[in-house]
Amino acid sequence: MDPLKQLFYEKAQALGAEVKALLKEKGTAKIDEVSLKQLYGGARGVKMMVWETSSLDPHEGIRFRGYSIPQLRELLPKGSGGEPLPEGLFWLMLVGEIPSQEQVDWLSAQWRARSEVPAYTLQMIDMLPTDTHPMVQFVTAIASMANQSVFAQRYDEGLAKTSYWDPFYEDAMNLIARLPHIAAYIYRRSFHGGKHIPSDASLDWAANFAHMLGNDDPVFYDLMRLYTTIHSDHEGGNASAHTTHVVASTLSNPYLAYAGGMAALAGPLHGLANQEVIKWIFHMLETLDTQTPTKEQIAEYVHETLAKGQVIPGYGHAVLRRPDPRFLAQKHFAETHLKDDPLVQVVWKVFEVVPPILQGLGKVANPWPNVDAHSGALLVHYGITECSFYTVLFGVSRALGVMAAQCWARALGLPIERPKSVTSQWVFEQFG
């Protein structure tokens, strides 16, 4: 058994035994209540699932195994430019320990060794029209790999419930290893005439991804390390994580579960917002006929967007009640590396203008920017200008969190998810 798998097995055995004992003693203890508002309001805040890898506080933002993003930027093993290696975050999410440099090097090598994408998957991508949205290509490619699922194969052969976690871990590792290759393939075929760039075995997972996209600037390597670290996980209730969780709970294989999660990420209220933000900014600049709009001009454009009954993309959040630390991490990166970039400066001006306007509407729970408000401007600076690809980048990163979390779900033997629904007729009979 590989060292990470062995460590995970030991941790999972220990927690599994503790949970079993707790459930035996206090299994009927109440942890939450559900209001009518929550019933009709997307179950906001209802505590109804276990997610081991990260936890989201409305005011502090995301913590991965208890560590904030600034702490991770300090403590995780780093790439050449000083940003954390996503390999380290995956290790931390899976086993709850900050890994050593040697351990992340081992993981980089593992993912390199597992990275070969089936030829038929690439051929299948090539069958799609080149103007197919990159997220559609991505979901299709991921689902196509399901017939290589170790989990599905072992399940067919007859797998004991206590062993579900083992082949799930194998699929998770293979899937994560392949994703940058699939994403880069989609990018190069969609936007660079199919001129693909071979992988560089000397690079870590995120730097190699940057390389295959077509930019070998070491600062871009570092951006991709940071980007894939901060987008990886946002506890379990967000749409892409929760969808992956529900699908995996049926014991559908990890590829299909993650493809389901990516279909959820592709919605404009979730991951597609990173595409929408940059489209909205470019449309604003075109409408105003300037690359350096004043705050007054931006405010006017924001009011126009709201008057059309549309949302301001990149602002608001279902849980957060302050500027997203993932936005702030990207802002910090931009302040260090590209503070004079005109588009970045527009993003910062929008950050000054939008919150008071949204606050003034009196109904927006969180007027602050989320993760998607900043990423596009950074990507444009490094030549990734094709915004329909942005959600694929988010998706590659999200695999780290949801796959680690689902390894835990299988190890803890979490059952098929099946909450109770009610009809409006039932609601009125009770409360009308």
Our finding on whether 171 is near ligand CMX (CB under 6 A) is: no
Nearer to ligand CMX, 164 or 315 (CB): 315
Our finding on whether 312 is near ligand CMX (CB under 6 A) is: yes
Catalytic annotation present for 270: yes
At residue 290, φ and ψ (nearest 5 deg) are: -155, 155
The active-site residue out of 181, 242, 372, 374 is 372
Contacting residue, 87, 166, 171, 372, with ligand CMX by CB under 6 A = 372
Catalytic annotation present for 317: yes
Catalytic annotation present for 242: no
Which residues on neighbouring strands pair with residue 55, listed in sequence order?
A: 63
Cα separation, 125 vs 41, in Å, equals 38
Binding-site size, ligand CMX (CB under 6 A): 21
Nearer to ligand CMX, 63 or 188 (CB): 63
The string of DSSP letters for 74-130 reads HHS-B-TTSPBPHHHHHHHHHHSSPPPHHHHHHHHHHHHHT-PPPHHHHHHHHHS-T
Q: Which positions from 244 to 283 touch ligand CMX by CB under 6 A, shown as an x/- string?
A: -------------------------xxx-x----------
Contacting residue, 223, 248, 299, 318, with ligand CMX by CB under 6 A = 318
199 contacts 115 by C-beta, under 8 angstroms: yes
176 contacts 407 by C-beta, under 8 angstroms: no
* Least distance from ligand CMX to the Cβ atom of residue 371, Å: 6
What the block records as the tokens of 213 is 């996209």
The active-site residue out of 317, 337, 374, 381 is 317
Cα separation, 212 vs 365, in Å, equals 40
Residue 230: name the closest of 359, 420, 63, 365 by CA: 63
The active-site residue out of 231, 270, 374, 381 is 270
Nearer to ligand CMX, 151 or 315 (CB): 315
Nearer to ligand CMX, 208 or 375 (CB): 375
Our finding on whether 311 is near ligand CMX (CB under 6 A) is: yes
Our finding on whether 364 is near ligand CMX (CB under 6 A) is: yes
Contacting residue, 79, 316, 323, 395, with ligand CMX by CB under 6 A = 316
Residue 151: name the closest of 141, 162, 165, 137 by CA: 165
Cα separation, 63 vs 396, in Å, equals 20
The dihedral of CA 161, 165, 167, 172: what is its sign? positive
Binding site for ligand CMX (CB under 6 A): 238, 269-271, 273, 311-318, 358, 363-366, 370-372
> Any idea which residues carry the catalytic annotation?
270, 317, 372
